[in-house]
Chain A
């Protein structure tokens, strides 16, 4: 069994280690390019969302490299993504590829199935599983920390692009770490590299929250590199969706019925009385939180035709006008280009910086 998996942001580094450590042969999903998306779009339903099309392309590229099995997450709706593995499987079968699919459903209500699926992935003695998981999880956490730090550094950097260069260096160091010991060395090295990026300590950058559907928030290719672009426009980006956090909530807290994101859900309540799937309700609540915490605006990322996000957008419009808080929705699809996104972001940043000047009483 040669396994491939969806690529989402930097998580592939840790996921590849996890699967390899569990005794699988891994076909690393190639970086997402225009070609990946074109390939995916050709074989996807027209109105499937961008993540579906990117995944379709990734799987086809993985198969071309010799993969014969795919592992991905499942879901119980109402967001469509929970059905994607099954839909991809049927489309691939129609194209003549008989691949094995391993769908990891959330533990709540699917414990037996989940264990069955996991056992297909575990091809090493059980005693080694724990250390492998711990190692991969540590890597994932470090990757998330690096990204979060980059959001802080980028608007403050003295030399444009130095953060992004440092970030790349960090990622290759993390990728190279092979065991726990090397990982903690990598952690130190990463700290060093990031600390050496020269920044302007006086800078008070604009602050923007990033909310939206998890895939397009995490994968820069899918969002026209919105975080990097904003950073280089001098904006500090904050997001609360990280893969480690998401996994913790969906795989553990949910199982023990511990409510996650309590604040966000409570604050969303006046506007939206129902879980609408995906990240709909959280986006609404987080927008309220950002507005209370002195942020200058929120960018809402949504794949075109994404059902929960369309509802969220309709409601965010109301939240924005109630609170006098700028919110911009970016719909993303296969025609979205980085330059188009940049133009819209520049306009948005102009608007919020004018707003801040006005509120602080600076003449303009």
Chain B
């Protein structure tokens, strides 16, 4: 039996986990191809108007899996993985939204991921998922433990300075010497690490010798500490991490500039962008890169060249 996992959104945080989990249960795991023009175009055409581009992308990815002929599509309903936060409402309603907009889908497997009791909840969800696929609960729990190991190894490689895309093997470093400025490249992993929708942003920055620091590289203890320093935190998982990471890099004076990568029309980012901008104000230069279905690489190159040049000149004149 083949289980399809769309290569976007939560894929960039949890694929190593689910990949091992389902393989341990004895299933084949098929992930949709990394975003292509065709996937994007299909998504744009079939998604509710005014949705952001990541939501359009996942429609395309789910469709690609359906065409692939998988037996199940695994699209968990990401509700909450930490106390006092949820995912963006579009994640909460995603399985329903997909069902409403795409016809003739293979059966969807959408366990509700709500980790109110931390790891215990995760084991319970894994046990139930295994059961629903006809495997025993015990086997599910064992697969869950194995999957957690794999996921922790993935997280460790990121803490050591790899971007998510590199840790997932979606891109390799070319070995260009990184003598340029250090940048905090902050945004959601499914934007920054998707080589297509980001117009190969990571590659472009590497070519220019920029050292990139992302939100995922910040140690989780520091994130917790920073969350307590906020008068009120945001409600959304990925958004909080971006804001806390910005505070972390700025407090420690680790970066020469901040780039906020956002999707056109992203609701949470209307808050995140302004928060990060105000945090960076008076400390280091800040810019926003907004991505959508019309983003071309030339436009991105112009923006980052201008920003990087400005940082270099600032350093020289100082």
Stretch with Cβ within 8 A of A (4 or more), from B44-52, B150-158, B208-216: B44-52
Total count of chain A residues near the partner, CB < 8 A: 43
Contact count A vs B, C-beta below 8 Å: 125
Q: Is the CB of A275 within 8 A of B92?
A: yes
Given contacts A311-B97, A313-B49, 6 further A-B contacts (CB under 8 A): A45-B271, A49-B267, A78-B236, A274-B92, A306-B267, A317-B48
Q: Is the CB of B236 within 8 A of A274?
A: no
Q: Is A304 an interface residue (CB 8 A)?
A: yes
Min distance, Cβ A297 to any Cβ of chain B, angstroms: 19
Which residues of B have CB within 8 Å of A83? 232, 234-235, 271
Q: Is the CB of B89 within 8 A of A78?
A: yes
Q: Is B278 an interface residue (CB 8 A)?
A: yes
Q: Is the CB of A310 within 8 A of B90?
A: yes
Q: Is the CB of B265 within 8 A of A276?
A: no
Min distance, Cβ A50 to any Cβ of chain B, angstroms: 12
Complex CA distance for A59 and B66, rounded to whole angstroms? 50
Interface string of A35-50 (1 = CB under 8 A from B): 0000000000111110
Q: Is the CB of A311 within 8 A of B271?
A: no
Complex CA distance for A222 and B248, rounded to whole angstroms? 38
Q: Is the CB of B89 within 8 A of A272?
A: no
User: In chain A between 258 and 281, which residues have their CB closer than 8 angstroms to a CB of chain B?
Assistant: 271-278, 280
- Given A314-B47, A317-B100, the answer on whether A305 and B92 have CB atoms closer than 8 Å is no
Q: Is A118 an interface residue (CB 8 A)?
A: no
Q: Is the CB of A315 within 8 A of B93?
A: yes
Complex CA distance for A272 and B268, rounded to whole angstroms? 21
Which residues of A have CB within 8 Å of B85? 77
18 A–B contacts, CB within 8 A, in A order = A45-B271, A47-B264, A48-B271, A49-B267, A78-B92, A271-B100, A273-B95, A274-B77, A274-B92, A276-B89, A304-B50, A305-B265, A305-B270, A307-B89, A307-B90, A310-B51, A314-B47, A314-B51
Q: Is B274 an interface residue (CB 8 A)?
A: yes
Q: Is B225 an interface residue (CB 8 A)?
A: no
Q: Is the CB of A277 within 8 A of B267?
A: no
Which residues of B have CB within 8 Å of A273? 77, 95-96, 112
Which residues of A have CB within 8 Å of B92? 78, 274-277, 311
Total count of chain B residues near the partner, CB < 8 A: 40
Complex CA distance for A52 and B267, rounded to whole angstroms? 12
Min distance, Cβ A228 to any Cβ of chain B, angstroms: 26
Which residues of A have CB within 8 Å of B86? 77-78
Q: Is B184 an interface residue (CB 8 A)?
A: no
Which residues of B have CB within 8 Å of A90? 274-275, 278
Interface string of B253-293 (1 = CB under 8 A from A): 00000000000111111110111001001000000000000
Q: Is B228 an interface residue (CB 8 A)?
A: no
Whose C-beta in chain B lies nearest to the C-beta of A91? Answer: B274
Interface string of B24-60 (1 = CB under 8 A from A): 0000000000000000000000011111000000000
Whose C-beta in chain B lies nearest to the C-beta of A105? Answer: B232
- Given A274-B79, A276-B93, the answer on whether A46 and B232 have CB atoms closer than 8 Å is no
Which residues of A have CB within 8 Å of B269? 47
Which residues of A have CB within 8 Å of B234? 77, 83
Min distance, Cβ A275 to any Cβ of chain B, angstroms: 7
Q: Is A94 an interface residue (CB 8 A)?
A: yes
Which residues of A have CB within 8 Å of B90? 307, 310-311
Min distance, Cβ A134 to any Cβ of chain B, angstroms: 31
Complex CA distance for A76 and B232, rounded to whole angstroms? 10
Interface string of A290-310 (1 = CB under 8 A from B): 000000000000001111101
Which residues of A have CB within 8 Å of B3? none
Select B231's contact among A49, A79, A86, A275, beta carbons within 8 Å: A86
Q: Is the CB of B270 within 8 A of A47?
A: yes
Whose C-beta in chain B lies nearest to the C-beta of A318? Answer: B100
Q: Is A209 an interface residue (CB 8 A)?
A: no
- Given A277-B92, A307-B88, the answer on whether A80 and B268 have CB atoms closer than 8 Å is yes
Q: Is the CB of A315 within 8 A of B268?
A: no
Complex CA distance for A272 and B47, rounded to whole angstroms? 16
Complex CA distance for A36 and B48, rounded to whole angstroms? 31
